[in-house]
Structure formats: C-alpha cells, structure tokens
Structure 1
C-alpha cells in the first residue's frame, strides 16, 4: 500500500474515533499532499507524486515542527508545545526510524576511515556516501556537525 493510501486510511480511522488532534493533523498532511500533486502536474517536469515525494514533504513538515517545539520550550508555552508534539509524533510515524546520534557517529567514523578523509575538504564525499546508503534514516544536519567534529579532531 502506498504511503498516501496509508495516511488516508489513518485519517478515516481518526474520523471514526472522533480524535480531533489526529483529524486536524491528517487533514494538514493530506492537504499538503494535494498541493504537491498539483505542483507536480503543472510546470515543465510533469510527474505523478510517489512515496519519495511524500517522504520529502513529511520530513520538511517534521523539521518545521521540531523548530517550533524548540521555540515553545524556550518560551514555556506548554499549551502550544503539546499540539506541536502531537503533530510531530504523527508525522514521524510515517517515516523510517531515524538513527541515534551515537549510530550516526559510528557510521561517520567508519566512512571517514574507509574513504581516507582527512580534512573538511573531504566532507562532500562523506555526505554523498551517506546520502546514497542511508538517506531515509539520517538527519543530515546532525550528520554534518558530527563529520566536522570528527574531521577536526
């Protein structure tokens, strides 16, 4: 079953259970997917929206929620924090499980030694290799800072 169908089924289940938080989040996701469909149908690069496009969209939405959560934590806005956290949890449930920071560190260290990287100039090679093999499982902003740290030490 495609990711879009899975999300739509979850939305229907939320409607049946009358869970207002989930309903609003699923509506938000479905609306964003429809916008993506429209963007993909028009313009010079016409194509159907596939699971990879939806994953990119969900990652972008997760990143937005994570930034909002940080801001709400700093400003002690627990009411807004709870809403964002619920949306974040629902969005991440549709994405592959992310690697922990320790696992990313191990992987980066292995790649650095495997590729013989010695300076920041080699960072592009390492990031490229990570994207080839682990594009869904790694937060590349974390990976970038870890690689810099490892190359500088």
Structure 2
C-alpha cells in the first residue's frame, strides 16, 4: 500500500484534533483544508502533493508576514497566534534544507542553467523552485542566489 497523500494526512490530523478537542489546532488545519479545497473547486481538479505543498507554503508566508506586522504594531498576542499556526502548518512540510544543502543546489542550478550573472537569476530560480518548494523560504533563497551570482 502506498503512503497516504498530503491531503489524506491533513484529514487524519483534523480527525485527531477533533478527538483530542484541540480547538486551536483544529481551526488551523481546517483553514488549510479550506484553502486547498477552494483551489480544487476553482480549478475543477484535485491538487497533487506538490501543489498542496505550495498552498501550505503560501499560508506559512502569510503568517510570517502577519506575525512581523503584529510585532511592529506591538500586538504580541496576535503575533504569537500567527506563530502557533505556523508551527502546526510546518508539521506537514518536508524537512527544511540546511544552508550547505541549499548552497549545493544553488551551485548545481547555476551550472545547469549556464548562468553568467544577475541577468540569469530567473533561470536559476526556475531551476531551483521544484526542488526547494516548501523546504526553504523563497526570499532567503532569492538572497542566496543573488549573492552567488554577484560573487
């Protein structure tokens, strides 16, 4: 039997949260399910695990940005809530890449894309995107690629 899909894993986690009466976790997981379902309805198709990862990655980015804005506004309780949601969503993401792994992938992508400088940054990012989705913050990746191409 094959491993359960990411959507099935998410559904199982929702059931477990309901059984455990873990309201905060349940709300966050249902929010993730709703975001996935909305895209499936809009596009009239089932999402693959990679596409589900992209949805979850987008949710993480939204929460990271919101937490930062709440911190700037002095709303610590709301920032903490966003961070708690991030922890729950991150459970369903693949393991994050270390800096060494990321540097290796960047070097490989630069040589594969035959990148000569900053004008080839798009080629390098497009080569890296499928390998790193959900495993690294894209802003961090962009900075590292920019530094590698400049240096």
TM-score with structure 1 length normalisation?
A: 0.82
Task: Report the counterpart of residue 122 of structure 1 in structure 2.
Answer: 120
Per the alignment, residue 28 of structure 1 pairs with 31
- Aligned position for 2:146: 148
Change beyond 3 A, Cα 1:31–1:128: closer
Large movers: runs of 4+ above 4 Å: 113-116
* Deviations 1:88-114 (CA, angstroms, capped at 9, x unpaired): 111111111222345423432454356
Separation of aligned partners in 2, 1:72 and 1:102: 32
Q: Which runs of 5+ in 1 are unaligned?
A: 42-46
Q: Using the TM superposition, name which of 24-33 and 101-110 deviates more.
A: 101-110
Secondary structure class of the residue paired with 1:130: helix
What corresponds to 2:62 in structure 1? 64
Structure 2 residue 16 is matched with structure 1 residue 13: yes
Cα deviation 1:112-142 (Å, max 9, x = unaligned): 3565533112223322321354444333322
C-alpha change, 1:14 and 1:56, in structure 2 (3 Å) is same
Aligned to 2:83: 85
- Tell me the C-alpha RMSD between the 2 structures: 2.2
Structure number, greater radius of gyration: 1
C-alpha contact (below 8 Å) 2:66/2:82 kept by paired residues: yes
Structure 2 unaligned residues grouped into runs of 5+? none
What is aligned with 1:49? 47
Residues 23 and 127 of structure 1, relative CA distance in 2, 3 Å threshold? same
The TM-score with structure 2 as length reference comes to 0.83
The match for 1:95 among 77, 93, 96 is 93
Aligned position for 2:73: 75
